[in-house]
Amino acid sequence: MIITGCSGAGKHTAMAAFEDAGYYCIDNMPVALLSGFVELLAKDDFGASGFAFVMDLREPGFPERCRPVFQGLRDRGLGVEILFLEAEDDVLLQRFSQTRRPHPISHSRRLIENISAEKALLQPLKRDADRVIDTSCFSVHNLRAVIGDLAEKHRHGAYMRVQVLSFGFKYGIPIDADLIVDVRFLDNPYFVPDLRDLNGRSADIREYLFALPETSAFLERYLGLLDFLMPLYQKEGKRYLTVAVGCTGGRHRSVAIAEAIFSHLKSSNAGIAITHRDIDR
């Protein structure tokens, strides 16, 4: 994926979205090095879903140099897609005034003249682009969502990374949790002498908890909520989600319920892990 277009149109936001989707991303690599880098890719396994390169007029002579290189890669049967980002002049002016960064075209002209000159130089590349996105009305979050959807269509193995975490409220709420559920409403195995020294991974604890009618009723509703929410989080562009399950000490109830949530989610989410923060405390 070649990310190019107007300065201030959101190329670095787009690159970050591709990176979150598992792409290996490089910013401002000289176009003359692209063919050699592709040969390197053929020899080494980078473990990436794809590759994204931000290329633009920061490189002198870029519009003239890039077109034969891109065509040469396509002639070799490689899937090269050009994503061109643009925006209205007044929007680009506003964005540059907010960031106060210099325009790459020239420091001697007025900013509006630099913007117009850049658009003229990039016009042939825009015509060659496979996809043109006008970001004038996009917030950063909107653009990341659009690029995330695009990356999702091209990816091979990118996913939202999900962390299921059990914890004990007596040791503090995890600050990185996105969703927190309190399972202290379930009967506590700690007060059963034969179960006290076990933890929520044991079959005896699971048997005790899942014999309670409220356990199954709760899980049916909560897993349904997660199944509803997770595609919406992915659509919004979220790439990391921590689901925290808490009980008093983080050893019995929260561990068993977290394990049940993990088992349910792992069938449809390759990037899922589980951690029991307080199981040994």
Q: pLDDT (tens digit, 9 = 90+) per residue, 14-70? A: 999 888 888 889 999 899 999 888 888 767 766 677 889 999 999 988 989 998 999
Mean pLDDT over residues 183-195, rounded? 96
Q: For 38-64, give one letter per residue: b (16+ CB within 10 A) or e.
A: beeeeeeeeebbbbbbbbbbebeebbe
What are the pLDDT digits (tens) for 245-268? 999 999 999 999 999 999 999 876
Choose between 232 and 56: higher pLDDT: 56
Mean pLDDT over residues 107-114, rounded? 79
Q: What is the residue whose two structure tokens read 């269509």?
A: 153
Q: For 116-130, give one letter per residue: b (16+ CB within 10 A) or e.
A: eebbeebeebbeebe
Beta bridge partners of 276: 166
Choose between 80 and 159: higher pLDDT: 80
Give phi and psi for 13, each to the nearest 5. Answer: -65, -40
Q: Which residues contact 42 (CB under 8 A, 6 or more apart)?
A: none
Give phi and psi for 226, each to the nearest 5. Answer: -65, -40
Residue type, 271: G
Residue 179, Ramachandran bin (φ over 0: left; ψ between -120 and 50: alpha; else beta) = beta
Q: Which residues contact 150 (CB under 8 A, 6 or more apart)?
A: 83, 131
Residue 213 has pLDDT above 90, yes or no: yes
Cα 15 from Cα 17, distance rounded (Å): 5
Cα 14 from Cα 4, distance rounded (Å): 10
Strands, DSSP E only, in 157-202? Answer: 161-168, 179-182
Cα 21 from Cα 154, distance rounded (Å): 10
What are the pLDDT digits (tens) for 69-85? 998 888 887 778 899 99
Q: What is the reported pLDDT for 78?
A: 77
What pTM does this model have?
A: 0.56
Q: What is the reported pLDDT for 209?
A: 97
| Per-range mean pLDDT, top range of 159-168, 199-208, 230-239 | 199-208
Cα 56 from Cα 87, distance rounded (Å): 15
DSSP-H helix ranges across the chain: 11-20, 34-43, 62-75, 89-99, 111-128, 140-154, 203-210, 213-236, 253-265
CATH 3.40.50.300-classified regions of the chain: 2-154
Q: What is the residue whose two structure tokens read 């980002």?
A: 85
> Are residues 252 and 168 in contact, defined by beta-carbon separation less than 8 angstroms?
no
Confidence category of residue 111, pLDDT binned at 50, 70, 90: confident
Report the CATH number of the 2-154 domain: 3.40.50.300
